[in-house]
Amino acid sequence: MIRRAMLLTVLKENEIRYLKGRTLCRLATASKDAEPHVTPVIYAMEGEDVIVAVDYGEKKLKNLRENPKVSLVVDEYRPNRAVMIQGECEILERGKEYLRLQKILFDKFEYYRKNPWKEGESPILRIRPTKSASWGI
């Protein structure tokens, strides 16, 4: 696991603010053979990290086990603005850090509070940005 103190800031303050105010992104993964796969997912922010819950058996989880590199975009058409992130994904399935990130998701989304899952039932992704671009914000 990468230590936080060693991480460089990738996102600008206005990008973080924009991302914290939204709930839906399009997450792109790729298999070990570079076959792309894009899906809409809801997310929460923890500092610069993007936090996403997924289900076992999903194509994106299979891809991430083969290739941890991801890209995602959060955008709007009117006004035209967006943040694009490239990064590395860590898959968490159990433990204190898993439970801490699960709480962040439960705090943000009523749906998760009404339909909770137990530790180990649904992996959590932590996406750490390595590059970003934005426009209109």
- Which position has the token pair 């006004």? 79
Q: Which residues of the chain have pLDDT under 70?
A: 1-8
Give the architecture-level CATH label for domain 4-135.
Roll (2.30)
Distance CA 64, CA 84 (A): 18
Distance CA 42, CA 16 (A): 16
Distance CA 99, CA 92 (A): 9
- For residue 9, the model assigns a pLDDT of 82
Q: Where are the domains of the chain?
A: 4-135
Distance CA 93, CA 105 (A): 14
Backbone torsions φ then ψ of 81, nearest 5 degrees = -150, 155
Q: How many CB atoms lie within 10 A of CB 25?
A: 22
Distance CA 12, CA 16 (A): 6
Distance of CA 71 to the CA centre of its chain: 9
Side-chain half-sphere CA neighbours of 5 within 13 A: 0
- For residue 8, the model assigns a pLDDT of 62
Distance CA 91, CA 98 (A): 9
- For residue 1, the model assigns a pLDDT of 42
